[in-house]
Amino acid sequence: MKDFRDKIVVVTGAGSGMGRAYAVEFARLGARLALNDFDAPALAETVRLLGIDEGERLHSAAFDVGDRAAMERFAGDVRTRLGHAHVVINNAGIEGVGKPVWATPAEAYTRVLHVNFHGVLNGTQAFLPQLIENGEGAIVNVSSIFGLIGPPNHADYSASKFAVRGFTEALMVELRGTRIGVHLVHPGGIATNIARQDRTQAFRHKYLSTPPEAIVRHVIRGIRRGTPKIVYGHGSLKTWLGSNLLPLRWLNPIIWRDMAGVIDRRDYPPSPLTVLPSRDRHHPEPDQDQAA
């Protein structure tokens, strides 16, 4: 798809960050917009910034993208009020709890998968029939560079983004040869407000630096060119290269060294290097000079 003028573009998570940037850029390109966010005041602020009244060029609705029935109602309302969707940007997402696997409660995995994966699943399945009926369109599913590697203290988030990756890559194969483009986006460190917890602020300051407007423009170029996998943003190139070229026995220590200084390590056991050797005949206790 090359021209977005008067095309109907759906954007989830449009209340801030990349979602708001998608709304602004597609509005500039003359598209009609269907916008969602869970945060109603933030979504209303995006609509205010666009300067477009609700009506034949814009429809917005605040709801949880993980709620299948709500997503289906949204798709039906978009069809009724605007027409069949042409482009669907499944962008909505939340951060994990920022703890290692053993300290992350089961409900945290459920919550993150509910939004980050099921939101993509619901948005794709609810709107794909409209694209098929149009005979053209684009599905854009937002994963992460943490859908390329498994970083410490992000297992819940990473699991959801790997799920988006697998789902979207399968969809690409299924829709091969059609005029419906399927695009998988792996953002690097984008300067959004996704990292809100105190324990993730060091991570945010080190990594989240690429302006959301920059990746949005890059993704739109990717849609126009038919690029299936779009990797862009701070740290994305080295992450993509590492995930493709390095065996895990080399890659994992590199990831740890890069991130060890910005993750909360209070839930970690003492390092094996700090544990004294056992006192037996095979491991005699070192003298004071050796221990130092």
Give the relative orientation of helices 118-134 and 106-116 as an angle to the nearest 10 degrees: 20
Distance CA 40, CA 264 (A): 31
Q: Is 262 helix (H, G, I), strand (E, B) or coil?
A: helix
Q: Is 22 a catalytic residue?
A: no
The token duo for 221 is 């170029």
Radius of gyration of the chain (CA): 22
- Inter-residue contact 36 to 11 (CB < 8 Å): yes
Adjacent-strand bridge partners of 34: 10, 59
φ, ψ at 133 (rounded to 5°): -65, -35
Residue from 22, 109, 157, 232 carrying the catalytic annotation: 157
Among 13, 43, 19, CA closest to 215: 19
Q: Is 233 left (phi over 0), alpha (psi -120 to 50) or beta?
A: left
List residues with catalytic annotation.
157
